[in-house]
Chain A
Amino acid sequence: MTQDRSIRSKALGDSVRAFAPLLIAVVPFGLVFGIVAAGSDVGPWLGGATSFIIFAGAAQLATLQLIDAGAAGAVVVATALVINARHFMYSAALAPAFREFPRGARIALPYLLTDQAFALSIVRFGEVEDPVYRRWFFIGAGLSLWVPWQVFTTAGIVLGAQVPDSWSLDFAIPLMFVILLVPTIKGRPELVAALVGAGIAVAAAGAPYGLGLIIGATSGVVAGVIAQRVAR
């Protein structure tokens, strides 16, 4: 038991230290989201609650953007879930390690699964096999994002109530998407997926019920798959 406790504190310390450099990105992203939420039609309370309920930045931004644009509810839900579909991949990759965790942890911890927690954990799980260490490392990495995300989106909401419209702060949303987009372009098929997704989304922007985004995104995915086949 004492041994478990020392493994736990080592794992937590390691994960917080590994996360520290990523914090620089979380602060402005959280602030921007909060400022956007403060000005959104959903209002500051519900907008802020998305950080707790959804806990996925890009999907949270897209959700508010689509609701503000008057998209149909089902389309907003479908679009956000398409954005978060990448977590299927993370879940599949982490599943073998999680199989060694207690049942409660297997059910509760996926809530903390994010791009960042995945990226750190999958690397560390390759180096350390002890399930106790792995569990606490994941918890530490997950909370390292969860806590500042709640704090800085809330701070953004408080600030956002005082920011005038003439500052064009809504432009920070597409800027954020650009910043998230760039590191996903790992090769030519990804570039094709992005270009086709962008082009079709612009062409379909007038589509009814706010369907333009999902049409563009799906076209981009199909184009990426085709581009990869052709390249091989």
Chain B
Amino acid sequence: MSNIAIIFAIGIGTYLIRLSFIGVVGDRTMPDWALVPLRFVAPAVLAALAAPAVLLDEGSLALAPGTNPRAIAALVALLLAWRTKNVAVVIAAGMLTVWALQAVF
């Protein structure tokens, strides 16, 4: 599949998801068996996106601070994100931490 085809397929699919219940005529509501799992899509997906990028170094687990500045910087970002909703602050702190650690190690 070419990159253009991939991106258009995602665009059309995303639109159809957004349209789904709005486009349906009548009073159909969402059944519980579908509603409950959807609550967990966002936390599960976002954690699954972030963790490998932070914890893996060329395919293997890297947890020691000296070998993986990204894990520490991500932890700093996680704690900060808990305290503040300011995206710019969290990104700046995370990037500065990673640069500082890369300079030290």
- Answer yes or no: do A and B interact: yes
Chain A positions within 8 Å of B, measured between CB atoms, are 24-25, 27-29, 32, 41-42, 46, 49-50, 53-56, 58-59, 61-63, 65, 67, 72-74, 76-77, 80-92, 94-96, 98, 106-107, 109-111, 113, 167-169, 171-185, 189-191, 193-202, 205-206, 212-213, 216-225, 228
Q: Mark B10-26, 1 if CB is under 8 A from A, else 0.
A: 11011101111111100
Extra pairs beyond A86-B41, A216-B48 (7, CB < 8 Å): A89-B30, A92-B35, A177-B49, A178-B94, A184-B43, A189-B40, A220-B48
B34 in contact (CB, < 8 A): yes
Assess whether B74 is in contact with A85, with CB atoms less than 8 Å apart.
no
How distant is the Cα of A200 from the Cα of B49 in the complex, in angstroms?
11
Find chain A residues with CB under 8 A from B8 CB. Answer: 53
Interfacial residues of chain B within 1-60, with CB under 8 A of chain A in the complex = 1-11, 13-15, 17-24, 27, 29-30, 34-56, 59
Contact flag A197-B47 (CB < 8 Å), given A89-B30, A179-B81:
yes
Assess whether A42 is in contact with B21, with CB atoms less than 8 Å apart.
no
Contact flag A171-B56 (CB < 8 Å), given A80-B14, A189-B40:
no
Assess whether B20 is in contact with A42, with CB atoms less than 8 Å apart.
no
Place the interface of chain B in its size category.
35 or more
Most chain A CB atoms below 10 A, which of B8, B10, B36, B44: B44
Pull 19 A–B residue pairs with CB atoms less than 8 Å apart, ordered by A. Answer: A32-B91, A65-B53, A77-B1, A80-B10, A81-B17, A88-B20, A88-B30, A89-B30, A91-B19, A92-B35, A169-B95, A172-B91, A178-B94, A182-B78, A184-B43, A220-B47, A221-B40, A221-B44, A223-B44
Chain B binding surface, main DSSP class: helix
Chain B positions within 8 Å of A, measured between CB atoms, are 1-11, 13-15, 17-24, 27, 29-30, 34-56, 59, 61, 70, 73-74, 77-78, 81-82, 85-88, 90-91, 94-95, 98-99, 102
How distant is the Cα of A189 from the Cα of B42 in the complex, in angstroms?
12
Assess whether A180 is in contact with B46, with CB atoms less than 8 Å apart.
yes
Assess whether B14 is in contact with A59, with CB atoms less than 8 Å apart.
yes
- Identify the closest chain A residue to B70 (Cβ): A171
Assess whether A174 is in contact with B50, with CB atoms less than 8 Å apart.
yes
How distant is the Cα of A219 from the Cα of B40 in the complex, in angstroms?
10
Chain A binding surface, main DSSP class: helix
